């Protein structure tokens, strides 16, 4: 099976660099799956679950936003925050919700809808625990 080079980095650390068969991505315009020979895409991420299939293994990461760039042979995710799912518990999600709530208080009227959507997406992360 063809693979795609996958890299996931956050400001704190590099979380993954591996050959994946598929990557499920929480895109801000909708979730999508990237595989080898995917059409080039540059888009933003919404808070959600990013899943990476490597052979028979599935690796999952909680991301809070960021960017993804995909070409036919590479997928690079630059996440604002990212954690392996097994490192996330209710208190971590509650901290992310608090950050999103504070950010909502500081936005202008032009950005309020986006900030409210981001807060709702962050709250939805609780269902993953």
107 pLDDT band, cuts 50/70/90, is confident
Predicted model pTM? 0.91
**Tens digits of per-residue pLDDT, 64-104?**
999 999 998 999 999 999 999 999 999 999 999 999 999 98
DSSP one-letter code for 14: E
Phi, psi of 47 (to 5 degrees): -60, 130
Q: How far apart are CA 125 and CA 6, in angstroms?
A: 23
Domain-by-domain residue ranges, the chain?
Answer: 4-85, 87-128
Residue 36 bridge partners (DSSP) = none
Looking at domain 4-85, what is its CATH homologous superfamily? Answer: F0F1 ATP synthase delta/epsilon subunit, N-terminal (2.60.15.10)
Average pLDDT, whole number, for the chain?
Answer: 94
């Amino acid at each position: 099976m063809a693979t795609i080079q996958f890299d996931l980095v956050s400001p704190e650390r590099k979380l993954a660099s591996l050959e994946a068969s598929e990557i499920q991505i929480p895109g801000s315009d909708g979730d999508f799956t990237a595989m080898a020979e995917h059409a080039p895409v540059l888009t933003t991420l919404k808070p959600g679950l990013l899943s990476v299939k490597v052979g028979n293994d599935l690796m999952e990461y909680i991301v809070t936003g960021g960017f993804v760039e995909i070409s036919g042979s590479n997928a690079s995710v630059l996440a604002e925050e990212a954690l392996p799912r097994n490192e996330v518990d209710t208190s971590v999600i509650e901290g992310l919700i608090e950050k999103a709530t504070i950010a909502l208080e500081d936005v202008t009227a032009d950005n309020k809808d986006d900030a409210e959507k981001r807060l709702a997406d962050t709250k939805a992360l609780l269902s993953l625990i």
